[in-house]
Chain A
Amino acid sequence: MKILSKIYTWLIFAFLYAPIVVLIVFSFNNSKSRSVWAGEITFKWYVELFKDREIMDALLNTLLVAVVSAIVATIIGTFAAIGIHSMNKKLRNTWMMVNNIPMVNPEIVTGVSLGLMFTFFIEILKNLGFDASLNMLTLILAHITFNIPYVVLSVYPKLRQMNPYSYEAALDLGCTPIKSIFKVVLPEIMPGVITGLIMAFTLSLDDFVISYFTSGPSAQTLPLVIYAMTKRRISPKVNALSAIMFAVVLILLIIVNLRQSKDNKSNDRKEKSFI
C-alpha cells in the first residue's frame, strides 16, 4: 500500500511537471525548433529575452498591477470582512452572496462584463470631450475587483475564530472603535490578511482572461504578451521566460516555506494550504 501510494504520487507529479521540464530544457536549445533538440546548449534565448522591450515592459506592468491591486484589495477586503462579520445574519448572507458572484461566475463573463462597462463609460467620457481609453487604470480596477472576494474569504474565518469579546473589552477600556479595530482586531487576524495579500498578488500576476477584456495596448501584462506571442511564430524566448519564472517562483516558495516552518507553531492547516 505504501509503495503503491508512492508510485501514484510520483506519477501525478510527473504529469504535473512534464510540460514544465520540456519548456525549461528547450530554453537551452540551440535552434528555433520547439520539439527537435539541436544537440547544443545555448544561452542566446536568455540574452534575447532581456533585449525584448515588449516583454520587459510587460514584466514591469505585470508587477505594478499585481502590487497595487493586491494592496488595495487587501485593505478594502480586510475592512469588508470586519464589517460583514459584525452584521446580522441576513445582511451577512446577502453580502457573502455578492462576494461569491465573481468567484463562481465564469471568468470570461466577469471579464466581458467589466470590459463592456469600461468601454461604455469611456465612450461617454470621450463624447464629453475627455481623454479616456482602456489603460493601466481600467486594468488595475479590474484586478482589484476580482481580488477583493478572495481577501474577504481568507480574512473572514480568522474573525470567526477570534474571541468576540476582546473587541468589546477594548471599547470598555476606553478605545475608540477605530482604535480598537487597529489595536485588537487587526493583530488577531493578521495571518489571514497576509494570506489574502499573497493570494491576491499571485492571482493578479497570472490573470489572463479578465485582463484580456479590460486592458488596452498601452497596458500589456505578461500573460497578454505571451498570448499574442502564441498567435505568431513562437520564439524560444518564451521558453527562457518560463524557465526564469519557474526559478523565481521556486525560490520565493522556498523562502516563504522556510520562514513558515520556523514560526509555524500556531499550526493552522488552512493557511498552509495556500502557500
Chain B
Amino acid sequence: MRKRVATPYMIWMLIFIIVPLVMVVYFAFTSSSGGFTFDNIIKVKEYTGQFLQSFKIGAISTVICLILGYPMAAIISRSREHVQRTLVMLCMIPMWMNFLLRTYSWMTLLENNGIINNILEYFHLPRLQMINTEGAIILGMVYNFLPFMIMPIYSVMAKIDYRLIEAAQDLGCNSFAVVRRVILPLSVPGVISGITMVFVPSASTFIISKLLGGGDMMIGDIIEAQIQGGANNLNLGAAISLVLMVVVLITMAIMNIFGDTESEVSLI
C-alpha cells in the first residue's frame, strides 16, 4: 500500500523527466524536415574546442572553489554552536540573491572604467584589464558557486566525531597527521559532492561568460544560441545538449566511484 503513494511521483517523473530527454534524443537524430540523420551529432565535433574550453574553465573554477572552500568549511565546523549557525547563514545569503544581479555587479567592479580601476587611478596606479578575460569568467564562476563547495564539506565535517581526532592525537599524531589521516579521508564524501555541485554548473552555464567574458562563447552559450538565439538550429542545439549530458553523466559516474555519495551528502 505504502508503495502506491509514490505513483503520482512516478507518473510525473516519467512525463517531465524521461519524456523530455527522449525528445532531446529525437531532435538530435532528426533533421529540420523530420527525417532520421546523424548529421547533427557529427556536426557537434566542430564544437570540440568549446567543450574543452568549458570543461577547462569548469575544472579551474572547481579547484579554486575547493582550495578556498575547504578551509572555510573546516573553520565553520570547528566554531561554537551558535557561531556555526551564523556563519552558515552568512555563506548562504548571497545565494538567495539573484545570480544575474550579483554577476552584473561584478561587471561594475571589473570594467575598464569600473570601480576597481577608478580606485587604482585615484592612487595613481596603472589601470588593469580585468573584464573580458578568462580570469573574469573564472572569478564569476567561483563567486557564484563557492557556497556550493563550502556547504557539503561543512555538513560532512560537522558530523566527524571529535573523539576520533582525540584518539589520533593520543596515538601520537601531530596536527598535520590528524588532518591528513583523519579529517581529510572522512571529508571525502563532502568534497566529492562539492566538486559535482560546482563543476557541472560552472562548465555548462550560459550568460556568466557572456557578461564577464565579452568575447568567447562557452558551450552553454552555444546551446542557447542554437535554441533561442541567433543561430537557429534546434536540432543541432539538441545534439549538443545530448552530448553535454552524456559527457557530464559519465564524468559524474566516474567521480562517484571514488567516493560513495549516499543521498544525504549529495543533497547540499
Pair B23/A230 contact, Cβ less than 8 Å? no
B233 at the interface (CB under 8 A from A): no
The distance in angstroms between the C-alpha atoms of A179 and B19, with both chains bound, is 34
The distance in angstroms between the C-alpha atoms of A18 and B7, with both chains bound, is 47
The distance in angstroms between the C-alpha atoms of A255 and B227, with both chains bound, is 42
A148 at the interface (CB under 8 A from B): yes
Pair B266/A87 contact, Cβ less than 8 Å? no
Pair A82/B93 contact, Cβ less than 8 Å? no
Residues of A within 8 A of B13 (CB): 95, 98-99, 148
| Stretch of B38-46, B94-102, B161-169, B181-189 at the chain-chain interface | B94-102
B179 at the interface (CB under 8 A from A): no
Pair A116/B234 contact, Cβ less than 8 Å? yes
Chain B's closest residue to A85 (CB) is: B2
Q: What secondary structure prevails in chain B residues at the interface with A? A: helix
B265 to chain A minimum Cβ distance, whole angstroms, is: 10
Pair A120/B23 contact, Cβ less than 8 Å? yes
Pair B71/A83 contact, Cβ less than 8 Å? no
Residues of B within 8 A of A270 (CB): 155, 264
A13: contacting residue among B10, B12, B90, B159, CB under 8 A: B90
The distance in angstroms between the C-alpha atoms of A242 and B227, with both chains bound, is 29
Pair B8/A113 contact, Cβ less than 8 Å? no
Residues of B within 8 A of A105 (CB): 200, 245, 248-249
A28 at the interface (CB under 8 A from B): no
B75: contacting residue among A8, A18, A87, A148, CB under 8 A: A8
Pair B6/A238 contact, Cβ less than 8 Å? no
Pair A223/B100 contact, Cβ less than 8 Å? yes
B49 at the interface (CB under 8 A from A): no
Residues of A within 8 A of B109 (CB): 18-19, 22
B72 at the interface (CB under 8 A from A): yes
B220 at the interface (CB under 8 A from A): yes
Residues of B within 8 A of A157 (CB): 263-264, 267
Residues of A within 8 A of B98 (CB): 206, 208, 222-223, 226, 242, 245
Chain B's closest residue to A249 (CB) is: B96
Chain B's closest residue to A171 (CB) is: B1
- B149-206 CB contacts (< 8 Å) to partner A: 151, 154-155, 158-159, 196, 200-201, 203-206
Pair B96/A202 contact, Cβ less than 8 Å? yes
Residues of A within 8 A of B207 (CB): 208, 227
B137 at the interface (CB under 8 A from A): no
B129 to chain A minimum Cβ distance, whole angstroms, is: 16
Pair B9/A79 contact, Cβ less than 8 Å? yes
Pair B90/A101 contact, Cβ less than 8 Å? no
B258 at the interface (CB under 8 A from A): no
Residues of A within 8 A of B72 (CB): 8-9, 12
> How many contacts A-B (CB < 8 Å)?
245
Residues of B within 8 A of A116 (CB): 20, 23-24, 27, 234, 238
Q: What secondary structure prevails in chain A residues at the interface with B? A: helix
Chain B's closest residue to A25 (CB) is: B115
The distance in angstroms between the C-alpha atoms of A267 and B230, with both chains bound, is 53
Pair A26/B108 contact, Cβ less than 8 Å? yes
Pair A102/B17 contact, Cβ less than 8 Å? yes
Given A35-B118, A108-B224, A261-B82, A16 and B91 touching (CB < 8 A)? yes
Pair A113/B100 contact, Cβ less than 8 Å? no
A63 at the interface (CB under 8 A from B): no
B190 to chain A minimum Cβ distance, whole angstroms, is: 11
The distance in angstroms between the C-alpha atoms of A199 and B98, with both chains bound, is 15
Chain B's closest residue to A154 (CB) is: B267
B211 at the interface (CB under 8 A from A): yes
Residues of B within 8 A of A234 (CB): 104
Residues of B within 8 A of A227 (CB): 100, 207
Residues of B within 8 A of A17 (CB): 94
| Chain B residues within 8 Å of A, Cβ to Cβ | 1-10, 12-13, 16-21, 23-24, 27, 68, 71-72, 75, 82, 85, 87-102, 104-106, 108-109, 111, 113-115, 118, 143, 146-147, 151, 154-155, 158-159, 196, 200-201, 203-207, 211, 220, 223-224, 227-228, 234, 237-238, 241, 244-245, 248-249, 252, 263-264, 266-268
Q: Kindly list 18 other residue pairs between chains A and B, CB separation below 8 angstroms, not including A84-B6, A99-B13.
A: A8-B72, A19-B102, A22-B108, A35-B111, A79-B9, A95-B6, A95-B10, A104-B252, A106-B244, A109-B245, A114-B20, A117-B19, A117-B23, A142-B16, A144-B12, A145-B16, A212-B224, A213-B227
Q: Can you list 15 A-B pairs, Cβ within 8 angstroms, ordered by A? A: A35-B111, A83-B3, A83-B4, A85-B2, A95-B6, A105-B200, A106-B220, A107-B201, A109-B204, A109-B244, A109-B245, A144-B12, A157-B264, A208-B100, A275-B92
